[in-house]
């Protein structure tokens, strides 16, 4: 319990640091006015804007102002839509999360078994094929694969729709989700496979596996209980961090498949110079990251009992 | 007896680089990947000489050729083996030029990031103390975020343009190099030959460059190759999204983006072939880097 | 159990390693057999061979292992699994590595029970608890719910012994079980092992490199060198009047046997690498009594009810 509280406090510190970084990045490094105003304001409007945002005040005052606003959820209004930037981002978040979780599940469901198989029989032809496939998986540029998937499955074969999103958890929704989720998952799947393989190879050589066999346990139990639980720890840690990466990388997949998530909004906003939305996206994503890291740490301690006790003693 | 023994030459000791080469090439896949990489580099370097057409020389390109299918003959008189894109450019030529830029930007940013990262990593390892702690916190913080996110943040802050993209790529990569080098340097630093060099009162700079650095090179090579592949992929992704290199320096990513709109009407070649080139490049670098890692890492642990 | 001419070879890139090269011995119910030799002489591989746990590149290439009337080497994997942990059990050397660190003790014990006995979980738990009590672990109920790293080394090894006893095996193979422990704990465990075997009539093969351990515990002793048995007999006879020069050297180099002030006796040279052994007696290069005839491989000869493999026994 103490462990969890300590991690939460650590995360809050990181959040604060990140807010400082974002603030410095947006307000100080980039020309703050330049970034936050739209390009077609008159000089008067610009001056009024500057005064309203307090950009003519000293930097630390600006920072507190920024924090106060941010905590209240006010990150400015979108130039294009005129609505609060935060609201726009949050509206799109479920779509992105659906995509990211879909990809996450696919990566685990396919990656771990494939990796474990390759690790248990490292010299078999299947194992070598799996490893070759994994290198292919993380060399393939995601956006290009997306295009190819569209071409093959939507244009040539006509099995799956190429763009857009269906309703959550419906058959149509899943049909629309299939290609983008698979596309996004490919890269991570390759990584998970490699990780699972390395972990399984290492675990299989350990004495406790031999001891489990000496007890006369069935091979499936040895693998599924003893080996799996041991590789779960490193795999989960990496996967958890990768979830954040998935959310960030969905930017690409959303663009290719016209999936209405945060990522597509971000790219559109960058191109349309809708800067408040960009800032809102960054803030939300960074926050999500930190929360995910926190959850991963907690999960890690639950899965590996040795960590729990070490922290308790510390 | 002794006279004979003295006149026999000593067997030549195998230098580390020769042994590396021998172990590397003993694997067929790695050798093939390396050969492919050499071909790609060759193509990229000599693109202007090899390509039948300079796709960015507007006088040679005509829109009459637009969207020609692979294998058709264009107005320039030569066969467009890979077809033409929406503006009538020969895909093969466009690909070669694009390869040049993609590879160039990827490698250049990688090399600079390597230099910067190595310098910072060595500094952190050698100086230690609060400087080390500060640098490492920074590295950890940056590395806990995915590269694409960092790149997007940087692009959003810095704006568009080729130089900004380079800066963004460098800033994304330096942390990996810094962390690798620092880790290696810390291990080496504790070893006795550094102490010996210290005792000889060699100046710190000499110790770092002549003694520390060569032993740090091995993991650096591994990280370098894999990171370069990653950088090329990242640049392509940014260009595809429209926030990367500008139109005047079209990398493969941009070419693929251009072909996006023609996908649904079945004109696949405009996106397909540049993508294949990109894939070949990234994959060959990854395979080479993977093999290098297999060879170099166990030795490091010994 | 009777082992006849067991041969286990490892087929490595450097050559064939004849880890076990024609080993024969017998263990009667309730008897303690000490299998003694230096590291690398093949005693651990012998233990694994009996249970069929030799991993590639190793393979049993010849011999018979008669247990309860059947030749174990002819049995399929499924039948061997029934025997492992139930009729023949094994205790490994390092209990930290043989107990799976991420699973609780009760999980690891209950699975060993339920793999061989058709009982429900609570009965299995009770059997586990009783076993822990028998090996002298205090407050077994709370201990069952703990993880391996929460035990001390001696306790962990007791748990391993308890696991070996769970299904009341007829034979226990103990591979250097006390090597990693303090001397005092070692003595306790030795005493308790002896007591348990006497009480339940279980046969015990105790593999060790430490003569002093075997002296107090075993009934009979086999001395191994370079994959072969070089001397065999009752403990008293072998230790008081060794026939083979190697045994003599081993006994002489035990520190307590040496007089204070005199230089410590040792056997000159090093154990030979088992790859591509030269023909003839393997001990030849270190033996003070070696003669030209020793370039031939000596066979086991009987001498007053004992066996020795030497042309010129003491």
Q: pLDDT by residue (tens digit) across A8-23?
A: 777 777 777 777 766 6
Model confidence at B134, in pLDDT bands (50, 70, 90)?
A: confident
Give residue ranges of A with CB < 8 Å to any B CB. Answer: 14, 17, 25-26, 29-30, 35, 132, 135-136, 138-144, 147-148, 150-151, 154-156, 162, 241, 244-245, 248-249, 251-252, 255-256, 266-267, 270-271, 275, 278, 282, 285-286, 289, 293
Q: Which residues of B touch A241 (CB under 8 A)?
A: 144
Give CA A212 to chain center in angstroms.
Answer: 37
Give percent of chain A with pLDDT exceeding 90: 0
pLDDT for res B2 = 47
Q: For all residues of chain B together, what is the average pLDDT?
A: 78
Q: For all residues of chain A together, what is the average pLDDT?
A: 76
Cα(C59)–Cα(C50) distance, integer angstroms: 12
pLDDT higher than threshold 50 for residue C107:
yes
Shortest distance, CA B243 to any CA of chain A (angstroms): 7
In the predicted model, what is the mean pLDDT of residues B29-36? 85
B32 vs B208, higher pLDDT: B32
Chains adjacent to A (≥3 CB pairs closer than 8 angstroms): B, C
In the predicted model, what is the mean pLDDT of residues B49-76? 68
In the predicted model, what is the mean pLDDT of residues C146-151? 83
Element spanning C308, H or E:
strand C306-308
Cα(A66)–Cα(A62) distance, integer angstroms: 6
pLDDT for res A98 = 86
Shortest distance, CA A222 to any CA of chain B (angstroms): 29
Q: For all residues of chain C together, what is the average pLDDT?
A: 81
Three-class secondary structure assignment of A155-184:
HHCCCCCCCCCCCCCCHHHHHHHHHHHHHH
Indicate which of A143, A248, A296 best probes the interface with B, i.e. most B CBs within 10 Å of its own CB. A143
In the predicted model, what is the mean pLDDT of residues B235-248? 82
Q: Which residues of C touch A212 (CB under 8 A)?
A: 100
Is A310 in the C-facing interface, judged by CB distances under 8 Å? no
Is B152 in the A-facing interface, judged by CB distances under 8 Å? yes
Angle at B76 between CA B75 and CA B81, to 5 degrees: 90
Beta bridge partners of C223: C36, C231
Close Cβ partners of B264 (under 8 Å, ≥ 6 residues apart): A150, A154, A155, A162
Whether this model's pTM surpasses 0.90: no
Q: How many CB pairs under 8 A join A and C?
A: 76
Cα(B110)–Cα(B118) distance, integer angstroms: 12
Q: Say whether the A–B interface has 3 or more Cβ pairs within 8 Å.
A: yes
Global ipTM = 0.76
Q: Which residues of B touch A26 (CB under 8 A)?
A: 157
Q: How many CB pairs under 8 A join A and B?
A: 108
In the predicted model, what is the mean pLDDT of residues B102-126? 87
Q: Please indicate whether, in this complex, the C-beta atoms of A218 and C81 are within 8 angstroms of each other.
A: yes
Model confidence at B1, in pLDDT bands (50, 70, 90)?
A: very low
Model confidence at C257, in pLDDT bands (50, 70, 90)?
A: low
Cα(B298)–Cα(C253) distance, integer angstroms: 38
Three-class secondary structure assignment of B164-201:
HHHHHHHHHHHHHHHHHHHHHHHHHHCCHHHHHHHHCC
pLDDT for res B300 = 44
Pairing of strands C58-67, C2-12: antiparallel
DSSP code of residue C167: T
pLDDT for res A313 = 46
* DSSP-H helix ranges across chain C: 43-51, 77-83, 95-98, 105-114, 121-134, 140-144, 153-165, 183-200, 211-217, 235-240, 245-252
Q: Please indicate whether, in this complex, the C-beta atoms of B152 and A29 are within 8 angstroms of each other.
A: no
Query: Nearest CB to C85: which of A216, A230, A304?
Result: A216
Close Cβ partners of C20 (under 8 Å, ≥ 6 residues apart): C6, C7, C8, C9, C42, C45, C46, C49, C227
Indicate which of A141, A145, A187, A251 best probes the interface with B, i.e. most B CBs within 10 Å of its own CB. A141
Angle at B92 between CA B89 and CA B97, to 5 degrees: 80
pLDDT for res B210 = 66
In the predicted model, what is the mean pLDDT of residues C51-67? 83
Model confidence at B207, in pLDDT bands (50, 70, 90)?
A: low
Q: Please indicate whether, in this complex, the C-beta atoms of C84 and A218 are within 8 angstroms of each other.
A: no
Give percent of chain B with pLDDT exceeding 70: 77
pLDDT for res A49 = 67
Q: Tens digit of pLDDT for each residue in C168-216?
A: 888 888 888 777 777 777 777 777 778 877 888 888 888 888 787 788 7
Close Cβ partners of B224 (under 8 Å, ≥ 6 residues apart): B110, B114, B177, B289
DSSP code of residue C275: B
Q: Please indicate whether, in this complex, the C-beta atoms of A218 and C115 are within 8 angstroms of each other.
A: yes
pLDDT for res B112 = 92
Q: Please indicate whether, in this complex, the C-beta atoms of A30 and B259 are within 8 angstroms of each other.
A: no
Chains adjacent to C (≥3 CB pairs closer than 8 angstroms): A
**Nearest CA to C226 among C80, C20, C14, C11?**
C20
For the beta sheet containing C2-12, the strands, ordered from the edge strand earlier in sequence to the opposite edge, are C15-26, C2-12, C58-67, C70-71
Give residue ranges of C with CB < 8 Å to any A CB. Answer: 51, 53, 55, 81-86, 89-90, 92, 94, 97-103, 111-112, 115-116, 147, 149-150, 160, 163
Model confidence at C162, in pLDDT bands (50, 70, 90)?
A: confident
Q: Which residues of B touch A27 (CB under 8 A)?
A: none
Of A102-106, B20-24, C240-244, which gets the smallest average pLDDT? B20-24
Q: Please indicate whether, in this complex, the C-beta atoms of B153 and A25 are within 8 angstroms of each other.
A: yes
Half-sphere exposure in the Cβ direction for C231 (13 Å, CA):
29
Question: Can you tell me which residue has the tokens 């160039």?
Answer: B104
Q: Tens digit of pLDDT for each residue in A147-180?
A: 888 888 877 777 777 777 767 777 777 777 888 8
Q: Which residues of C touch A312 (CB under 8 A)?
A: none
């Amino acid at each position: 319990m103490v462990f969890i509280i300590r991690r939460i406090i650590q995360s809050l510190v990181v959040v604060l640091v990140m807010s400082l970084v974002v603030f410095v990045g947006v307000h100080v490094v980039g020309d703050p006015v330049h970034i936050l105003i739209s390009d077609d304001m008159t000089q008067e409007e610009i001056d009024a804007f500057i005064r309203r945002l307090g950009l003519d005040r000293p930097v630390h005052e600006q920072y507190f102002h920024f924090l106060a606003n941010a905590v209240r959820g006010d990150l400015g209004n979108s130039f294009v839509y005129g609505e609060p930037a935060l609201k726009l981002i949050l509206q799109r978040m479920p779509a992105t999360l659906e995509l990211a979780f879909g990809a996450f599940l696919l990566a685990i469901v396919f990656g771990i078994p494939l990796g474990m198989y390759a690790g248990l029989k490292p010299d078999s032809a299947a194992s070598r094929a799996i490893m070759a496939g994994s290198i292919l998986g993380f060399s393939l540029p995601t956006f290009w694969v997306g295009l190819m998937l569209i071409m093959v499955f939507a244009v040539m074969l006509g099995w799956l729709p190429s763009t857009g999103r269906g309703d959550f958890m419906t058959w149509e929704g899943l049909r629309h989700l299939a290609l983008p989720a698979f596309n996004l998952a490919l890269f991570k799947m390759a990584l998970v496979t490699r990780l699972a393989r390395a972990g399984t190879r290492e675990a299989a050589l350990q004495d406790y596996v031999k001891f489990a066999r000496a007890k006369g346990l069935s091979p499936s139990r040895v693998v599924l209980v003893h080996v799996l639980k041991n590789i779960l720890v490193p795999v989960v840690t990496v996967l958890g961090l990768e979830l954040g990466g998935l959310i960030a990388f969905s930017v690409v997949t959303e663009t290719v498949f016209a999936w209405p998530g945060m990522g597509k909004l971000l790219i559109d906003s960058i191109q349309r110079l809708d800067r408040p939305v960009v800032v809102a996206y960054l803030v939300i994503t960074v926050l999500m990251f930190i929360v995910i890291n926190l959850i991963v740490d907690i999960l890690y301690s639950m899965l590996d009992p040795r960590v729990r006790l070490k922290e308790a003693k510390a | 007896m002794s006279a004979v023994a003295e006149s026999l030459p000593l067997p030549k000791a195998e230098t580390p680089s020769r042994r590396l080469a021998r172990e590397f090439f003993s694997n067929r896949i790695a050798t093939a990947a390396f050969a492919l990489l050499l071909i790609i580099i060759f193509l990229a370097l000599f693109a202007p000489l090899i390509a039948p057409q300079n796709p960015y020389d507007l006088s040679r390109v005509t829109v009459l050729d637009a969207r020609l299918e692979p294998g058709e003959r264009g107005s320039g008189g030569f066969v467009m083996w890979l077809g033409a894109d929406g503006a009538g450019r020969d895909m093969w030529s466009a690909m070669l030029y694009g390869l040049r830029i993609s590879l160039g930007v990827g490698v250049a940013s990688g090399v600079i990031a390597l230099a910067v990262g190595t310098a910072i990593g060595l500094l952190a390892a050698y100086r230690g103390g609060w400087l080390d702690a500060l640098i490492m916190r920074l590295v950890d913080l940056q590395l806990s975020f995915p590269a694409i996110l960092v790149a997007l943040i940087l692009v959003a802050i810095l704006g568009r343009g080729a130089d900004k993209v380079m800066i963004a790529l460098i800033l994304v990569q330096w942390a990996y190099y810094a962390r690798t080098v620092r880790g290696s340097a810390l291990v080496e630093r504790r070893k006795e030959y550094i102490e010996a060099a210290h005792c000889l009162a060699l100046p710190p700079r000499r110790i770092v460059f002549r003694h520390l650095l060569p032993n740090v090179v091995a993991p650096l090579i591994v990280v370098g190759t894999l990171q370069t592949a990653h950088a090329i992929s990242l640049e392509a992704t940014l260009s595809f999204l429209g926030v990367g290199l500008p139109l005047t320096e079209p990398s493969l990513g941009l070419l693929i983006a251009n072909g996006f709109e023609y996908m649904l009407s079945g004109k696949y070649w405009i996106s397909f072939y540049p993508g294949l080139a990109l894939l070949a490049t990234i994959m060959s670098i990854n395979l080479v880097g993977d093999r290098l890692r297999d060879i170099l890492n166990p030795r490091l642990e010994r | 159990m009777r082992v006849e001419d067991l041969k286990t070879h490892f087929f490595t890139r450097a050559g064939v390693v004849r880890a076990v090269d024609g080993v024969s011995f017998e263990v009667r119910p309730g008897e303690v057999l000490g299998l003694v030799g230096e590291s690398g002489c093949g005693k651990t591989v012998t233990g694994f061979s009996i249970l069929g746990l030799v991993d590639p590149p190793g393979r049993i290439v010849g011999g018979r292992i008669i247990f309860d009337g059947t030749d174990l080497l002819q049995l399929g994997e499924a039948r061997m699994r029934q025997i492992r942990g139930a009729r023949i059990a094994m205790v490994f050397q390092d209990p930290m590595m043989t107990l799976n660190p991420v699973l609780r003790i009760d999980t690891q014990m209950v699975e060993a029970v339920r793999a061989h006995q058709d009982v429900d979980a609570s009965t299995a738990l009770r059997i586990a608890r009783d076993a822990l009590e028998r090996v002298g672990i205090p407050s077994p109920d709370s201990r069952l719910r703990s993880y391996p790293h929460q035990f001390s080394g001696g306790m962990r090894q007791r748990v391993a012994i308890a696991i070996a006893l769970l299904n009341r095996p007829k034979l226990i193979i103990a591979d250097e079980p006390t090597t990693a422990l303090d001397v005092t704990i070692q003595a306790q465990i030795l005493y308790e092992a002896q007591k348990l075997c006497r009480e339940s009539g279980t046969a015990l093969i105790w593999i060790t490199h430490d003569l002093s351990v075997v002296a107090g515990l075993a009934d009979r002793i086999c001395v191994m060198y370079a994959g072969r048995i070089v001397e065999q007999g009752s403990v008293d006879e072998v230790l008081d009047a060794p026939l083979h020069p190697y045994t003599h050297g081993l006994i002489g180099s035990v520190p307590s046997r040496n007089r204070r002030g005199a230089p410590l006796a040792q056997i000159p040279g090093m154990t030979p690498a088992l790859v591509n052994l030269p023909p003839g007696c393997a001990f030849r290069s270190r033996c003070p009594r070696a003669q030209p005839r020793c370039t031939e491989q000596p066979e086991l000869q009987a001498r007053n009810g004992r066996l020795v493999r030497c042309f010129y026994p003491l």
